[in-house]
Amino acid sequence: MTIATHPENVSELYFQVKVNVSITGGCDTEQILRSWLNNSLPNNFMTVLEFQLVPKAQRNHPKLQSEYPTRVLAYTVPRRESCIFQVQVMMQSDIEEIENLIQYILQKPYENESISIRTEDIEISQILSFKCNAEIRQTLKGLFVWPETSGGETANQTCPKNPDHYATRHCKGMLNTHWMAPVLEDCAPVVETIPDLYHVSVTADSARDVVDMIEVLLSNHSTLNYEELAIVLNKLQDIINVSVVTPELGQALLNIISNILKSESNLVPFTNNILNITEAMGDRIVGYEGFSTLVAPAIGITVVDVVPGEFNSLMIGVASDATGKKPEIFINRYPLNSTLAFISLPSALQHCFPQRGPDQTPPRIQFQFYAIASLFKGTQMDQTLNTFVVAASVTNASCPIKDLEEDIEVTLQHLIPNTPYKQVECVYWNFNKNNGQGGWDNYGCRKYNSSSYYTTCLCDHLTHFGVLLDVARTQLDPANEQILTIITYLGCGVSSLFLGITVLTYTAFEKLRRDYPSQILLNLSLALLGLNLVFLVNSWLSSWGLYPLCVAVASTLHYFLLASFTWMGLEAVNMYFALVKVFNAYVPSYMLKFCLLGWGLPLVICILVLIVNREAYGSHIYTDTSSSTLQLLDNSDNFCWLQDDVTFYVSVVAYAVFIFLFNTGVFVVVLIQIRRMRANSPAGTRSGVMQDLKGVASLTLLLGLTWTLGFFSWGPGRIVLLYLFSGLNSLQGLFIFFFHCLMKENVRKQWRIHLCFGRFRLEEHSEWSNSASIGAQAKPKTNPPGALRPSVGSTKSSSTESTSASSNYSQRDSSCKRPDLGLFMNSLALPQAQRSPSGPGGPPSCRGVSRTPGWRNHMLHQQE
């Protein structure tokens, strides 16, 4: 059979062929059939397209298949196969003639050296509609309306923003025609930013395209402002309203919501919108059987179809997946150790299931899990959300689900492990609170059980559930917290440097530490130096992840903090003994007792804490023992310190309150006493205002009175007081160096004697000998009984030839000169003003004043 062709009048026709064949020999069936078609059909005007093999059961005797190997059967036993393919025919002829020609060619027996093919059934049909349907696509580069296009052809459309360029799209004509991806490289973007989405229309046809556009735009934004959030959420709501939400579309929508939740945007004004969008998506999802679960890093939902009358209860839980980056939702399975949230729904819910018609979907229960706590920010200043949030609802419920006879049980894992002394509260999200922005409410919910890691709540209604934690140590906003952290670390670093210089100075130069005030100052400096150094390395050591090391660091920090408070208190005790309480008896081992108290009492307290409750020390990152937790919380406290509130308030706050109340009392007494002395002093000897201010500042910092700012850091002025607290206390070491090293003449002289060279060097014998002689001149030759009374530790305090000597002293008689506030800038062995009968050996002008040991030492500092 021959067909005459005319190239100038050739037409392009397509036929679909289905053929059943019997093959003998060979193993590769597909290759055999392809070779047969290529050799049989004339390739000058017939082309095979889209070949597809359809395996059929072999018509072989079962016994042969069991007795002979497969390869032997393939060569010797005929097997029946089926295939489908398209034939492109380029010729001018009648349709029937072409079909007859194809059938004639394929019916011919085909044999070669190794195979034999016989056709059994041949079905040939012309493909009449070989086109891609018209389609509307919304893209970042504009709206494109692609017309109906024949298979194998390419459609062209002008670019919306630059009409002189074109977009193209090919209609691929295979077994089933379909559009290829459009080529839009020559088109300029129409939607470049999120605000441009405002003008994009959302239809059922363009909904999936708009989702893709939003995903692309969000990938370039880590933070969304108010306008951008409003536009994106409105478009998501439009997509849900006009679309059939398939699992694929639902997953894309959930990914977008997850990205929004993980962004650093302010979501508070849009919390209700996000919750409503998520619930609407779960209500409208179709295309699943029984249940469907969709998860993203920050959110997960599950919908479960239930049968009315057969519903007893339903348990749904959430745990971390194997990677720890996404939630894993499980149904009707008891919780494991890694469970983040768990909810048990009672059978009483079925009273509110919607009535199901013949063609209606069954009742549906929806479960939602939110892994971003920042989405739910209420107005509670003293409470914080300490769990993830779960929600449950019934789609199209026939009655309000509230006041249930059986409670809904919700168990939530704490984000930060709780202590037994912190109160927790079971709450739900009330959409109507805070002028419609939503907020936490406890109506209908109560706490059933709570531990360090979990809280179980019982509620009589369905909604979004969470657990609030009472915050004893109120959190700061991130900006101020970061600034205060920087100030604290810089201040501690500077203080550590100058405290080290102070300690070295008083340790190296023995003449500077001969009196008790200098020795107390040295011990206080050592305690503050230890406190600052441990604080600076705390976070670094905590990051090692060793719990015993963290306990050691926390207890050491606690010890040096208490030691610092104690030595500040001992400074005040020494002042009190020297100025107010004067003993007639000598007190032996005065400094030894002070050292036992200053270093021993904090040690006893820390040991007691370790014995009673070792877990009081630690860090939040060590208290969470879950083997697998969702890695979404990024605000863990990586700092080793006291984690138990009772221990903190008893061993730190109460201790500090006692110390600073006493120090404040001593400070007031000192000021009153000095005021009385100044009132009796000659007018020409009174110090200036600046000198008085320096003395007050020195006393305030030395007694640690700036630490009391921490007790008043609440209310409207809280932030200001915290800045003052951080700055003054972190720089306490610098101030000690300034007032007790840099401004003390005898310390500067020691530096010049031992550390300077050339003309700056000071000869030790001349200056200190001169000072000693001046001190000798100021000392009375004889003392009447009772004129000089030994104070506490009188032997050390009366040393006049050492620390308190100064080259600034004048030669005039100073034995009766009243001290002013500048006295405290040189030493804290304070004078005692006391009326007594004058002795015959005393200076006439001083007969009304009895001086404590050390009085002459300090009076020398006032001679100028």
Taking residues 146-164, report their average pLDDT: 89
- The residue among 837 and 34 whose pLDDT is bigger is 34
Cα separations in angstroms, 283 against 318, 363, 408, 797: 20, 10, 21, 85
Query: How many domains, the chain?
Result: 4
Query: Between these two residues, 839 and 83, which has the higher pLDDT value?
Result: 83
pLDDT at position 844:
33
Res. 655 pLDDT band, cuts 50 70 90? very high
Condensed to tens digits (0 to 9), the pLDDT of residues 669-693 reads 888 877 777 777 665 555 566 777 7
In the numeric block, which tokens belong to residue 94? Answer: 């009648």
530 with 465, same domain: the answer is no
Mean pLDDT of 5-24: 76
Radius of gyration of the chain (CA): 45
CA distance 323 to 295: 13
DSSP category for residue 8: G
Domain range enclosing 553: 481-864
Task: Determine phi and psi for 743, rounding to 5 degrees.
Answer: -95, 5
The last residue of one of the domains, among 92, 126, 160, is 126
**What's the farthest any 2 CA atoms get from each other in the chain?**
158
- Whether 699 and 720 map to the same domain: the answer is yes
Reduced 3-state DSSP string for 64-90: HHHHCCHHHHHHHCCEEEEEEEEEEEE
Tell me 598's DSSP state.
I
pLDDT over 90, % of the chain: 35
- The yes-or-no verdict on residue 249 having pLDDT over 90 is yes
Residue ending a domain, choose from 472, 489, 510: 472
Beta strands per DSSP E along 346-453: 364-370, 383-385, 389-394, 408-413, 424-430, 439-441, 445-450
State whether 487 and 592 are in the same domain: yes
**Beta-bridge partners for 90:** 12
Report if residue 442 sits inside a domain: yes
- Asked if residue 121 and residue 136 are part of one domain, the reply reads no
Q: Which residue has the higher pLDDT, 532 or 703?
A: 532
Q: Is residue 405 part of a domain?
A: yes
pLDDT for position 53: 87
**What band does 199 get if pLDDT is binned at 50, 70 and 90?**
confident
pLDDT tens string 731-748: 899 999 998 898 888 898
CATH code, domain carrying 440:
2.60.220.50
Do residues 631 and 514 share a domain?
Answer: yes
Q: Are residues 638 and 669 in the same domain?
A: yes
Question: Is a pLDDT exceeding 70 seen at residue 524?
Answer: yes
**Domain presence at residue 255:** no
Residue 238 has pLDDT above 90, yes or no: yes
Q: What is the side-by-side strand order in the sheet with 408-413? A: 327-331, 314-320, 339-345, 408-413, 454-459, 445-450
Is residue 208 situated within a structural domain?
no
DSSP annotation string for 559-577: HHHHHHHHHHHHHHHHHHH
Residues 140 and 116 both lie in one domain: no
Q: What is the pLDDT of residues 822-858, one digit of tens each?
A: 333 333 333 333 333 333 333 333 333 333 333 233 3
Long-range contacts of 52-60 (CB under 8 A, 24+ apart): 52/83, 52/84, 52/85, 52/175, 53/29, 53/81, 53/82, 53/83, 54/81, 54/82, 54/83, 54/84, 55/81, 55/82, 56/20, 56/80, 56/81, 56/82
Q: In 3D, which of 183, 204, 193, 181 has the Cα closest to residue 140?
A: 193
Position 234 confidence tier, pLDDT thresholds 50, 70, 90: very high
Cβ pair 705, 667 in contact under 8 A: yes
Residues 468 and 491 in one domain: no
pLDDT of 713: 65
List pLDDT tens digits, range 484-521.
Answer: 889 999 999 999 999 999 999 999 988 888 888 899 99
How far is C-alpha 17 from the chain's CA centre? 64
- Tell me the CA end-to-end span of the chain in Å, nearest whole number: 137
Closest CA to 181 of 148, 137, 125: 137
Cβ contacts of 239 within 8 Å, gap of 6 or more: 202, 207, 210, 211, 249, 253
**855: Cβ–Cβ under 8 A, 6 or more apart, which residues?**
831, 832
**Same domain, residue pair 150 and 49:** no
Between CA 213 and CA 46 the distance in angstroms is 43
| Residue 436: band (very low, low, confident or very high) from pLDDT cuts 50, 70, 90 | confident
Residue 518 and residue 562 in one domain: yes
Identify which has the larger pLDDT, 618 or 778. 618
Is residue 843 within 8 Å of 820, Cβ to Cβ? no
Is residue 678, in this structure, part of any structural domain at all? yes
Tell me what the pLDDT averaged over the chain comes to: 78
- Evaluate whether residue 485 is within a structural domain: yes
My answer on whether 733 and 669 are in the same domain is yes
Same domain as 139, residue 93: no
Q: Which of 157, 179, 201 is where one domain is finished?
A: 179
- pLDDT of 643 reads 81
Structural domain includes residue 722: yes
Does 206 fall in a domain? no
